[in-house]
Structure 1
Amino acid sequence: MPRLSQVDRGRAIAMLMAGSTQRHVARHFRVHKSTISRLVSRLNATGRVDDRPRSRSPRVMSRHQDRVVRLAHLRNRRLTAAETARNTIGNHNHRIHPQTVINRLREANLLARRQYVSLPLTPQCRARLMQWLTAHMPRRFPMRRWRSMLFTDESRFTLFQADGC
Structure 2
Amino acid sequence: MASRSKVTETLRQQVVQMKAKGMTISAIAREVGRSKSVISRMLHLYNTTNSFKSHKKAGRPRKTNAREDRIIRRISMSNRFNTATGIARQFSIEQGKDLSRHTVSRRLRTVGLKAHSAVTKPLISRKNQKARLAFAEEHVVWTEEKWSKVHFSDESKFNLFGSDGKHYVRRQTGERLNPKCVKKSVKGGGGSVMVWGMFSATGVGPFIELHGRVNANVYQNLLRQHAVPSLRSSPNQPAVFMQDNAPCHTAKRVKQYLETENIKIMKWPAQSPDLNPKENLWKILGDKVMAKKPTTVTELWKRLKEEWTRITPEQCERLVMSCGRRCAEVIQSNGLYTSY
TM-score (norm 2): 0.24
**Structure number with larger C-alpha Rg:** 2
Structure 1-normalised TM-score? 0.44
Larger relative strand fraction = 2
